[in-house]
Chain A
Amino acid sequence: MDFNLTDEQEMLREGARRFLREHYGFEQRRAISAHLPGFSVECWNSYAELGWLALGQPEDAGGWTCSFVETAILMEEFGRALALEPYVSTAVLCARILERCGNVEARRSMLTAVVEGKVRLALAHQEPGGRYDARPISVVATRSGDDFVLQGWKSGVLDAPAADHLIVSARLEGEENPALFLIDAAAPGLRMNAYPLIDGTRAADVGFEAVQVSASCKLAEGSVVDELLQEALDRATLARVAMALGAMESVVQLTAEYLQSRVQFGQPIGRFQALQHRLAEMFVEVQETRSILYCGLAHVDAEAAQRSAMVSAAKYVTANAARIVGSQAIQLHGSIAMTAEYAAGHYYKHLFAFEKIHGDADWHLDRFARHAAV
């Protein structure tokens, strides 16, 4: 085992940290967040130029084949900056489904476009009332000759408003199996009700009113769909764990600096042991989060049950830590943290959203419990 970064990984981290410091300072982020599409298209283009959208993508699509560690390193830096671009949806979640699906043509053309920064993608899987155990029930695909017609609603589709294409899970009418389709976001009959989320990212409810889909847009069908989705969602979850880690490290540092500078009762409040101990508890949480992230990364290519269990452990431990670190950061700052002009509250919102995306702490605890009880 070796937990030290290679020279290349170190360069990636340093490059990302420098770029985001220059282009994604807190005020810049506020300005980016205030206007549609809610992220920076310029930054997105830079990510393509910097090769970040190629990380882990297959070589024949112009990608940079490397381990998932590189993605995690980049995500940690994104978390530090609270970057808003739909990186996980596009380059981790949907790209992974495309890479492993059986549709060779869609895989090649879409992944190439992802690497070049020409498309953004979103996974439309969650359904109204389905919480996290979403199985496609309400969206139905009916065969129409060789093609399909989609009908129904998906809800809470992350990063959908700015996506060029959606990957949609649907139940095949008259059959038990689900299927995955790649659908142009501008397809006739596709309706998108967009809204912002607590962390500043955008999502949408997506309606399909007799949306025509050609057979060539079917990515997968049958029992492989579950495994495709699960594997890609596990990776996306782990990417977000890395983001949460970066966000936590950043807000703990911010809090420490505040405790050193804020004077009350004639001394910096960091002299008070009650506050020191809170900060120490936050430090312990962040240490454990990094450790469980590495545990998850070590199992990202393991067989499905083991992989999912370890990803769930990572999500659960990190979600717990995120609650503690996020709320304590506000408490230690006092009222200043309640203002939108100060960063601490934005970290809190990011960390809160993290817990609810791709399965919350309870959902992941139960998934891990099925493994632990064996």
Chain B
Amino acid sequence: MHFEPNSGDGAFRAEVREFIRQHLPPDMARRSYICSQPPDIEDFRRWQGILHDRGWGAPHWPLEYGGTDWTAMQRHIFMEEIYRADAIDYGWQGTHMIGPVLIAFGSQAQKKRFLPPMLRGEEIWCQGFSEPNAGSDLASLRTRAELVGDEWVIHGQKIWTSDASEADWGFFLVRTDPEAKPQRGISMLLVPMNAAGIRIRPIEALNGGRDLNEVFLDGVRVPCENLVGEPGKGWTYAKYLLEKERTASAYLYRNKRELEKAKQIARAEHTAGMRLIDTPEFARKIARVEADLLALEWSVLRILAGEKNLHDADAVVSALKIRGSEMQQRVAELQLDALGPRALRVFDQQDRSAEVIEGTPLWPSYVPGRLGQFLYARAATLYGGTREVQKNIIARRAFGL
């Protein structure tokens, strides 16, 4: 056991930091600071293009598909620097989810058609898994597709589909064999979001955002070559995609950056004539979160360094998800606690006015966006498998219960 970082990692970090410093437009960084998730879609496209031009369009992909040959630790450093600078994270649905699935299971034609525009940020993807009655229980999904001639005809409804209204393509889980066991009759289809028969209804979220949607599919037709891999294997591919980048569920980079923002606020805000951060009570609040985040960071490092964990890998990842998602909520709460009464004002998500961007003496620039992020963070223990489902996984995988 040794804890020294690899000798080249420092130079790599410096290289990444310098690139971001030179290429990240300040206005984009500012928008990202205000409202780090989800990013403005135009910012996302631009930034993805900038990264792609540097060869960093999808660092976790194999080299031959336009990825990098970075080590897990280099990817970790890269993401730390992305968040530290308020740059924009990779599109989750595209390069992180469907990209790796296509690389592993897609046809040559699918790889050729879909991977390059995904890398360049030209095509946005959304994920059609959840249904009104199939949240964490994906096996019960009911959207169905039938092969008619050489086309799949899809009927059904999806919900909580992030970015559906802005996406060019979606990857959908559909039931193609109603006779098979629930998990075996599911297939994965690639669907253009402008296809006839698709209707998208935005769902206004607690934070005022409209990135969540209901998607209705009424006789949507896609050619049979839009099937990913084999029919009936959709469940396997979905599991594969959810298991990529196991450490992502710690939300480590976001949590570190948001904690830094909370501390910035506590340094700027005053109470009873002193900086909030200098009051023992608030200093303790910060310290509690920071100590727990430190533990989470080392949990991530253990996985990145390939520790042979004594426990089942799925259980370990579920522990990361539970801790990381709770940490998102705690950090967001800390920001609002630091803002005090200023925390309550609602800023329109789309507001890009000078007051929001530059701030004013009454409304400093660190205020806008924090309330929205706080509300958004409530979803962290819901999406990607609720906290309760994660606990079920731990009980089963670590203890055989």
Contacts and interface: CB of A to CB of B under 8 A. Distances in A.
Interface stretch (A163-171, A185-193, A284-292, A351-359): A284-292
Nearest to A6: B1
A5 B319 contact: no
Interface stretch (A150-158, A335-343, A361-369): A361-369
Interface in A1-22: 1-6, 9
B395 A276 contact: yes
A87 to B, nearest CB: 20
Contact of B319 (A3, A284, A365): A284
Nearest to B395: A276
B2 A1 contact: yes
B4 interface: yes
Given A260-B400, A298-B3, A317-B291, A277 B284 contact: no
Interface string B300-342: 0110111110010001101100110000000000000000000
Contacts of A297: 1, 3
Contact of A1 (B286, B301, B308, B391): B301
B294 A294 contact: no
Contact of A270 (B283, B292, B388, B401): B401
Contact of A287 (B73, B277, B291, B299): B299
Interface in B351-401: 388, 390-392, 394-395, 398-401
Given A1-B305, A3-B307, A295 B295 contact: yes
A288 B287 contact: no
Contacts of B290: 313, 368, 372
A279 B305 contact: no
A271 B277 CA distance: 46
Contact of A313 (B294, B388, B398): B294
A34 interface: no
Given A4-B308, A280-B394, A369-B284, A287 B316 contact: yes
Contacts of A64: none
B15 to A, nearest CB: 20
B392 A291 contact: no
B319 A287 contact: yes
Given A277-B388, A317-B292, A368-B291, A259 B1 contact: no
Nearest to B299: A291
A288 B296 contact: yes
A281 interface: yes
Contacts of A256: 398-401
A4 B302 CA distance: 9
A372 B288 CA distance: 10
Contacts of B149: none
A314 B171 CA distance: 43
A132 interface: no
Contacts of A4: 1, 306-308
Interface string A309-331: 01011001100000000000000
Nearest to B289: A372
B280 interface: yes
Contacts of B1: 2-6, 9, 67, 69, 297
Query: What DSSP secondary structure best describes chain B's contact surface?
Result: helix
Of A4, A289, A368, A369, most buried by chain B (CB within 10 Å of CB) is A369
A283 interface: yes
Nearest to B73: A1
B273 interface: no
B257 to A, nearest CB: 16
Query: What DSSP secondary structure best describes chain A's contact surface?
Result: helix
B113 to A, nearest CB: 40
Nearest to B275: A373
A288 B307 contact: no
B5 interface: yes
A295 B398 contact: no
Given A4-B308, A291-B295, A365-B284, A277 B5 contact: no
Contacts of B305: 1-3
Contacts of A373: 263, 277-278, 283, 286-287
Contacts of B323: 284, 287-288
A273 interface: yes
Contacts of B287: 316, 365-366, 368-369, 372-373
Nearest to B315: A283
Interface in A53-73: 67, 69
Nearest to A73: B1
B304 to A, nearest CB: 8
A276 B2 contact: no
A149 B209 CA distance: 74
Of B4, B283, B286, B308, most buried by chain A (CB within 10 Å of CB) is B283
B284 A317 contact: no
Of B6, B292, B394, most buried by chain A (CB within 10 Å of CB) is B394
B371 to A, nearest CB: 24
Contacts of B263: 372-373
A276 B401 contact: yes
A316 B301 CA distance: 20
A77 to B, nearest CB: 13
Of A271, A290, A291, A316, most buried by chain B (CB within 10 Å of CB) is A291
Contacts of B401: 256, 259-260, 270-271, 276, 279
B380 to A, nearest CB: 15
Contact of B2 (A2, A287, A312, A317): A2
Nearest to B282: A373
Nearest to B278: A373
B376 to A, nearest CB: 23
Which 8 residue pairs across A and B have the least CB separation, nearest first? Answer: A276-B395, A298-B3, A369-B287, A291-B298, A280-B391, A3-B307, A280-B394, A292-B295
12 contacts: A1-B2, A1-B6, A5-B1, A256-B398, A277-B391, A284-B323, A288-B292, A310-B294, A313-B295, A316-B291, A365-B284, A365-B287
Given A4-B306, A292-B298, A368-B291, 14 more contacts: A1-B4, A1-B6, A4-B307, A4-B308, A69-B1, A279-B399, A280-B392, A283-B311, A287-B299, A290-B302, A292-B294, A312-B291, A313-B295, A316-B288
Interface of B: 1-6, 73, 263, 277-278, 280, 283-284, 286-288, 290-292, 294-299, 301-302, 304-308, 311, 315-316, 318-319, 322-323, 388, 390-392, 394-395, 398-401
